[in-house]
Amino acid sequence: MILAAILAGGTGTRFGSASMPKQFLELGSKPILVHTVEKFLVHPAVEHVAVLTPRAWLSHSESILAAACGADAAVTVLEGGETRNGTLRRALDFVEERFGKEQAHTLLTHDAVRPFVTHRIISDNIEAAQTHGACDTVIAATDTIVESEDGRFISSIPERRRMFQGQTPQSFDAKKLRRLMDSLSPAEETALTDACKIFALRGEPVALVNGETNNIKITYPYDLQVAQTLLGD
Partner 1 sequence: MIATVYRLTAPGMIEPCCRELSPAAGGVLLRPFRLSVCRADQRYYQGQRSPEALKAKLPMALLHECCAEVICDPSGQYRRGELVVPVPNLPAEADPFIAENYLFSSRFRSSGYDGYLQEYFMEDPARLVRAPKGVKPEVCAFLELVSVSMHAIRRFEGIAHNRRERLAVWGDGNLGYITALLLRAMYPKARLLVLGTVAAKLALFSFADRALLVDDLRAGARETLCDHAFECVGGGGCQPAINQMIDVIAPEGTMALLGVSENLVGLNTRMVLEKGLRLFGSSRSGLADFQQTAALLAQSPRLAAALEQLVGEIVPIRAVADIHTAFRVDAQHSFGKTVLSFLI
Q: How far is the CB of 43 from partner 1 (least distance, A)?
A: 8
Does position 131 interact with partner 1 (CB under 8 A)? The reply is: no
Does position 63 interact with partner 1 (CB under 8 A)? The reply is: no
CB 105 within 8 A of CB 174: yes
Q: What is the DSSP string of the chain?
A: -EEEEEE-----GGGTT-SS-GGGSEETTEEHHHHHHHHHHTSTT--EEEEEE-GGGHHHHHHHHHHHH-TTSSEEEEE--SSHHHHHHHHHHHHHHHH-SSS--EEEEEETT-TT--HHHHHHHHHHHHHHSEEEEEEE--SPP-B-SSSSS--B---GGG-EEEEEEEEEEHHHHHHHHHT--HHHHHH---HHHHHHHTT---EEEE--TT-----SHHHHHHHHHHH--
How many residues in the shown chain lie near partner 1 by CB under 8 A? Answer: 24
Q: Give the interface segment with partner 1, choosing from 38-46, 88-96, 166-174, 180-188 (CB under 8 A).
A: 38-46
Residue in 11, 14, 42, 155 binding partner 1, rule: CB under 8 A:
42
Contact pattern from residue 64 through residue 103 relative to partner 1, giving x for each residue in contact according to CB under 8 A and a dash for the rest:
----xxx---------------------------------
Q: How far is the CB of 77 from partner 1 (least distance, A)?
A: 17
Q: How far is the CB of 209 from partner 1 (least distance, A)?
A: 11
Considering only residues 140-199, where is the footprint of partner 1 by CB under 8 A?
none
Residue in 56, 214, 220, 225 binding partner 1, rule: CB under 8 A:
214
The residues, ordered by sequence, that sit 6+ positions from 65 with a Cβ below 8 Å of its Cβ are 33, 34, 37, 51, 73, 75, 77
Q: Edge-to-edge strand order for the sheet containing 2-7?
A: 75-79, 48-53, 2-7, 106-111, 164-173, 134-140, 207-210
| Residue with Cβ nearer partner 1 (39 or 178) | 39
Q: Give the interface segment with partner 1, choosing from 3-11, 30-38, 54-62, 151-159 (CB under 8 A).
A: 30-38
Does position 123 interact with partner 1 (CB under 8 A)? The reply is: yes
| Residue with Cβ nearer partner 1 (35 or 105) | 35
Residue in 119, 160, 179, 202 binding partner 1, rule: CB under 8 A:
119
Q: Give the interface segment with partner 1, choosing from 17-25, 31-39, 147-155, 159-167 (CB under 8 A).
A: 31-39
Contacts with partner 1 by CB under 8 A lie at 27-30, 35, 38-39, 41-42, 44, 68-70, 115-116, 118-120, 123, 210, 214, 230-231, 233
